[in-house]
Amino acid sequence: MAFLVNSHRCRNFSPLCPLFYDAVVCPSGSGAALDILPSETVEILEGKNVTFKTLLDNPKYIFIIWNLEGEEDPVRIATMGPAGLNVGDGYGGRADIDKSNGFLTLANARAEDSGEYRIDIILPSGSTETAATHLRVLKPVKDVKIQSDLVEAIEHDSTVVLKCTSQGNFLKFSWSKGTTPITGDGERITLTEVGSLTIKNVLRTDLAGPILCSVENKLTSGVSQPFNMTVYYGPDDVSLSPAKPPEFIRSGSNFSLSCSAASSPSAVFSWYQGSTLIEHPGPVLTLKILEALGMGKTPAEYSCKARNEKTGRDVSSAAVSFSAITGTKVSGPSGPLLAGNSSANLSCKAEAGNVKSRAWLKDGTALSPSTRITFAPDSSSMLINPVQKEDHALYTCQLMNPIGIDKATFRLDVIFGPDPVEVSGPDEVEVTDQVKLTCKTSSFPEATFTWRFNGTVKKVTTKEYVIEKAAYSNTGFYTCEAYNNVTAKTMRNSHLLIVRGTTNITNISYIANITLHHRVVGDTVVQWLALVPHSKKVLGSIPTPVDGGWDLSVWSLHVLPVSAWVLSGYSGFLPPSKDMHQ
């Protein structure tokens, strides 16, 4: 047999289980005492109606009596007899008996209605049939809370008791950590049926929640809000880093010792040289702090201690040993050095400590003796005599000692230059092209630059000369001058630039050895150029027109045979005329 609460349908429906009130007990066959009542306990929410069904069908009786077993005497609920229904005290308007089958209906169930219910049937023969069942009136589960006897706990020392409370009755309690059930082991962790959880010698992970308490009865359930408790612990084993520092450490370096330990709350750290407290609290001890306190000059042992103010525990680290050694210093000439006239002596030493070997490098490349470079027997110094411009470099001295490899550098400045100037850029461009000419030279100090165009000084003073949009008038010689204000030396070089375009030519002829007569259409031609083998030579500027053209005096045609004539503003070469005379 089965029953269903808060519904109007029985699970195992049969003619003996009609629809009836809010909660019913449906028979599923025999098995109840004397086949009068089902054997299952009836459970109903408070405030609902409940019906106790019998297994009787039109029974013959004189009286049917329903009682609730009390602590001492039974409490009569109702009696059905020849005179009809008689309801006991306190059940008026709540209790009713169906005379056809003996069903007892109890309205608005209360918590105090819970208990054992007994039916007595007095038969016409005078004998009595008796049976009993149980009722639980359940209060809904709500307001589930977790309470602790401690606000905070100390790992390994504290015993924590958590109590789960809830409204409701006939309650069952269970505990979980997140989704993992908490089960008792009978020793360190114990649970009770009334909702308490006891943890002895609590660990840091025991209450690092969320801890949840779940409460339920047969009809309702509820879960508490997540609970967490701080469990203070530590400090655990103290770690010192680096655990094995080098025996010797360069003075003034960024070397430091770091101390760490797992602890809640965070540990407070103190440092010791041997048994002497170092007046510098904190997790990091630097070499600079030690040197400021006058320590670190001789080998000594250093350790740190971690303390947790909550747990009251102190833990010390293992000791490490080291001493500081000052590093490398390179010295050299302080005055100016002139290439080819001066000499330079560089020396290298450690300010403290033993040096086993030295090595010299120039711009990162190892140096060897030469006709100009000599080394002291122990390589503590080197002489360059005389210095040349290639000696202008960064020199490094490396020391090999107990610290390892230490090094220092010295910048040797050699005054020279400027070297011969090279002007790079295009030889020919089209009109409106951008032109960039670059002046290259080596000099120390850096050279200053002056640009000239066809002998005229321009305002450009950088190593680059830029023409944004070339015009015919930009054709000519560009001269770059580089000047060193220390050596008072100047170097210069020139570059010929031809700006080419298109000009219509109707006639051109050669007259005699020294005069060229030509006729052109347009007025953009400003200059003639003669192209001779392996060189270009400006022959002169065009004067005023003569007879619709120009006369150009040529003073140098007799030097080399002219292979072609080039007209500024014309996009190609003009071949020599057959009328030309040399």
Q: What would the 3-class secondary structure string for 48-94 be?
A: CCEEECCCCCCCCCCEEEEEECCCCCCEEEEEEECCEEEECCCCCCC
The fold of 239-325 is Immunoglobulin-like (2.60.40)
Residues ≥6 apart with Cβ < 8 Å to 430 = 470, 499, 500, 501
Q: Quick one: which of 325, 329, 321 has its CA closest to 252?
A: 325
Reading across the β-sheet that carries 75-81, which strands appear in turn?
A: 42-45, 128-138, 115-122, 63-68, 75-81, 84-87
pLDDT band at 502 (very low <50, low <70, confident <90, very high): low
The residue ranking higher by pLDDT, 298 or 267, is 267
Find the range with the poorest average confidence among 101-115, 203-217, 238-252, 487-501: 238-252
Q: For residue range 32-66, what is the model confidence (pLDDT) as tens digits?
A: 335 799 888 899 999 999 999 999 888 899 999 99
Judge whether residue 13 has pLDDT over 60: no
Q: Name the band, by pLDDT with cuts 50, 70 and 90, for residue 314.
A: very high
Q: What pLDDT score was predicted for residue 245?
A: 84
Q: Is the pLDDT of residue 86 over 90?
A: yes
Strand pairing category for 564-567 and 527-532:
antiparallel
Which CATH number does 328-412 carry?
2.60.40.10
| Residue 251, CB-side half-sphere exposure with 13 Å CA sphere | 17
Q: Where are the domains of the chain?
A: 2-138, 142-232, 239-325, 328-412, 422-499, 501-567
CATH fold of 422-499 reads Immunoglobulin-like (2.60.40)
What is the percentage of the chain residues whose pLDDT exceeds 90?
61
User: Which of the listed CATH numbers 2.40.10.120, 3.60.150.10, 2.60.40.10, 3.30.465.10 matches domain 142-232?
Assistant: 2.60.40.10
Q: Which two three-digit tokens encode residue 57?
A: 């069908």
Same fold, 239-325 and 328-412: yes
Q: Name the pTM for this structure.
A: 0.48
* Region 539-561 average pLDDT: 37
Share of the chain above pLDDT 70, in %: 77
Q: Is 474 helix (H, G, I), strand (E, B) or coil?
A: helix
How is domain 2-138 classified at the architecture level of CATH? Sandwich (2.60)
